[in-house]
Amino acid sequence: MTALVIAMVMVVGTMSMAGAANGNLIPDSSVTISGLEDQDVVNLYQVFKWDDVNGWSLTDDFEDLDTTNLANIQAIIDNDTTNTPIQLTKAELEALATYAKENNLSPTSGVASGADFTKSGLEPGMYLALVEPKTAGVIYNPLVVSVDYKDNESNEIDASSAKMGSDSAVAKKDTVTVEKVANDYTHNTNDYVQFTVTTTIPVYADSYVNPKFNVTDTLSTTGLKGVVNTDDHKFEVEAGSVKYTGTPSDGFTSFTLTFDTEDIAALTTPQSVTIKYWAQITSDAPFTVNEETNDVTVEYSNNPKNDQDYDTLYDETKHWTFDIDGSLFGDSSYTTGEVVKIGVDENGHILESMVELDNGSEHGALADAVFGLYPEGTTEFTDANLYKNKQYQSGCKVTTTADGLMEIKGLDEGTYILKEISAPAGYIKDQNEHTIVIDATYSEKEYSKVINGKTVYYKVKTLDSYTVTIDGKKTSTYTMTLSGPAISSVTPGDSSSEIQNTKGVELPSTGGMGTTLFYAIGAILVLGAGILLVSKRRMSAN
């Protein structure tokens, strides 16, 4: 009886396995992977197949896989039903991914629609899935999905009681980002600006052989110079236990930090990276709305299918300096003309020839007036207190030209004081202090660019407009029209501030040596008259 029962069980088992082949059981051939991004590419490699003689076995592609230390994979080969369904460990998944990559296996590929990828018509078996992200900034870990059998009522059947696993899975991913910020965005030339770059090294599976992670930072070669190790301006990197090479030297315009492959591979949690450094605004001849760009790129391994593949992330900052009476973006055919010097008679009538400025207004232009620019809050208008920057290392003194304009270069957003130092010959110097205010407005805008065939998105703080106000009067408002990150056009205001010099001879100032001399002579005359009067009275009395 016992032998008969055993024989019947064997017959039923054989019929069940044969049933898979003769059509009584049909493959549940659809698999689904969720948690993806639209247009991600999914590569499926069949690791196990079914046959009626051996049950589950490795496919021809994976037949040379060394399973010595891969216990769960070996259990499937042995059709061991002790634990079902059988789940592969992280190390086993990585071993499969490494094997597929090293042997250049050909996958069945498809594209995700929205967050999901579905593939039908697959043969029964276990499939390794390696995902290639469509957009930069994502890294996926290897995963598996399985195709089993179902009966006519769609109930899932374990063809050999060693179930492959689920026919659906959720992709696990790490996100890589990069951001670059500055402590200020408008500057005097010669100013120092601090940049901070933050990014994250992801956790790489063992299937990523020699994972790559590099950070490259590039300064505008025309107007920025990096500083490495002065008392107040240091180059600093925080990257935990991950070592790096590529620290630059003073005066750099770019650098690349290369992070150690072995340290990256040893990470079990993502490692944040912070890079801080200083640069100096050094442009020797900036023009109105002088724009300097500073960008950063991160290159990192992103494809367990191919060690040579990598993605690139990008970010940038922009920086501006401003002029008074300058040329817009270096175009000498357009001068802004915020301040104009004119000569008038004692009745205010213009004495000099009329000059039409680029903004359409006409002025009587007066050359050879000397002005000094001073920082906000100045009370003593001496040479020692003049405003200083790269162009004016000894102090900002400017002289009006034949069109009555004075070009003052490389100004930061903020407040300044303009005061006339000397008038042209035959004119009286203006005694007033003139307050100049440069005010800028910004907004953060998102841009994109295609790098290595992938779209990279980044945000930039962008100059929208700036206004020059003199003595409370808005002389010019410049509105930027943007086409991508570049400034394409400027619309100026239509008014300028006139500073007048009156025709005549300048008298000595009150309290100066000239008045003191008059006082002294007057006092002597009065004293002499008094003595003479007293002497005459005495003579008359006698």
307 shares its domain with 374: no
**pLDDT recorded at residue 359:** 56
Whether residue 1 has pLDDT greater than 50: no
- Percent of the chain at pLDDT > 90 equals 27
Alpha helices in 70-229 (DSSP H): 71-77, 90-102
Within-domain flag for 254: yes
pLDDT band, very low/low/confident/very high, at 420 (cuts 50, 70, 90): very high
66 shares its domain with 146: yes
**pLDDT recorded at residue 240:** 95
**pLDDT recorded at residue 304:** 66
Whether residue 358 has pLDDT greater than 70: no
The stretch 246-273 carries a mean pLDDT of 92
Whether residue 24 has pLDDT greater than 60: no
**pLDDT recorded at residue 91:** 82
70 shares its domain with 164: yes
Sign of the CA dihedral 338, 344, 349, 350? negative
Please give the Cα distance from 20 to 159 (Å, whole number). 7
Whether residue 158 has pLDDT greater than 60: no
The stretch 285-306 carries a mean pLDDT of 76
pLDDT band, very low/low/confident/very high, at 16 (cuts 50, 70, 90): very low
Tell me: the pLDDT tens digits for 183-239?
A: 888 878 778 889 999 999 998 876 676 789 999 999 876 678 888 877 788 999 999
306 shares its domain with 350: no
Within-domain flag for 303: yes
309 shares its domain with 374: no
**pLDDT recorded at residue 380:** 93
**Mean per-residue pLDDT over the chain, rounded:** 79
210 shares its domain with 287: yes
DSSP secondary structure of 319-365: EEEEEES-BBTT-TT-B---EEEEEE-TTS-B-SPEEE-TTS-EEE-
CA 326 to chain CA centroid, Å, is: 28
Whether residue 418 has pLDDT greater than 90: yes
> pLDDT higher for 168 or 75?
75
44 shares its domain with 171: yes
Q: Select the highest-mean-pLDDT range: 232-236, 271-275, 431-435.
A: 271-275
The whole model's pTM is what?
Answer: 0.70
User: Other C-beta atoms within 10 Å of 412: how many?
Assistant: 19
Please enumerate in sequence order all residues whose Cβ is within 8 A of that of 32, keeping only pairs 6 or more positions apart, or say none: 116, 117, 118, 145, 167, 168, 169
Within-domain flag for 352: yes
**pLDDT recorded at residue 161:** 43
The stretch 312-318 carries a mean pLDDT of 90
Please give the Cα distance from 321 to 280 (Å, whole number). 13
Judged by phi (left if over 0) then psi (alpha if -120 to 50, else beta), residue 104 lies in left
**pLDDT recorded at residue 2:** 46
363 shares its domain with 480: yes
- Percent of the chain at pLDDT > 70 equals 74
278 shares its domain with 402: no
Whether residue 471 has pLDDT greater than 80: yes
pLDDT band, very low/low/confident/very high, at 350 (cuts 50, 70, 90): low
Tell me: the pLDDT tens digits for 101-137?
A: 889 999 999 999 999 999 998 888 889 999 988 878 8
Please give the Cα distance from 186 to 318 (Å, whole number). 9
CA 285 vs CA 189, 398, 407, 411: distances in Å: 10, 15, 12, 12
Tell me: the pLDDT tens digits for 478-501?
A: 777 665 555 666 666 656 677 877
> pLDDT higher for 412 or 495?
412
Closest-CA residue to 46 (of 144, 119, 158): 144
Within-domain flag for 513: no
Within-domain flag for 524: no
Straight-line distance from the first to the last Cα atom of the chain, in angstroms, rounded to the nearest whole number: 178
**pLDDT recorded at residue 57:** 87
Please give the Cα distance from 537 to 542 (Å, whole number). 9
pLDDT band, very low/low/confident/very high, at 348 (cuts 50, 70, 90): low
Within-domain flag for 362: yes
Domain stop point among 323, 354, 384? 323
**Residue 511: φ, ψ to 5°:** 85, 0
Please give the Cα distance from 425 to 94 (Å, whole number). 86
Q: Select the highest-mean-pLDDT range: 160-174, 430-444, 489-503.
A: 430-444
CA 340 to chain CA centroid, Å, is: 39
Strand order in the sheet with 254-259: 244-245, 254-259, 213-218, 290-301, 310-324, 408-411
416 shares its domain with 479: yes
The stretch 318-333 carries a mean pLDDT of 75
Domain stop point among 175, 196, 218? 175
**pLDDT recorded at residue 333:** 59
Closest-CA residue to 224 (of 196, 173, 190, 185): 190
> pLDDT higher for 520 or 433?
433
**pLDDT recorded at residue 66:** 94
pLDDT band, very low/low/confident/very high, at 426 (cuts 50, 70, 90): confident
User: Other C-beta atoms within 10 Å of 231: how many?
Assistant: 5
What total number of domains does the chain contain? Answer: 3
40 shares its domain with 189: no
Q: In CATH, what number is assigned to the domain containing residue 393?
A: 2.60.40.10
**pLDDT recorded at residue 353:** 58
Whether residue 530 has pLDDT greater than 70: no
Whether residue 293 has pLDDT greater than 70: yes
Torsion of CA 516, 520, 522, 527, to 10 degrees: 160
Within-domain flag for 165: yes
Within-domain flag for 528: no
**Residue 362: φ, ψ to 5°:** -115, 145
**pLDDT recorded at residue 419:** 95
Whether residue 71 has pLDDT greater than 60: yes
Domain boundaries, position 80:
2-175
> pLDDT higher for 331 or 201?
201
Please give the Cα distance from 468 to 3 (Å, whole number). 104
Q: Looking at 130-134, 158-162, 277-281, which range is the least confident one?
A: 158-162
Please give the Cα distance from 320 to 441 (Å, whole number). 12
429 shares its domain with 453: yes
Q: In CATH, what number is assigned to the domain containing residue 297?
A: 2.60.40.740
| Measured CA angle at 209 (ends 207, 215), to 5 deg | 115
3-state class percentages of the chain: helix first, strand second, coil last, to nearest 5: 15, 45, 40
Tell me: the pLDDT tens digits for 359-390?
A: 555 566 788 999 999 999 999 999 999 999 87
Q: Looking at 19-33, 152-166, 318-332, which range is the least confident one?
A: 152-166
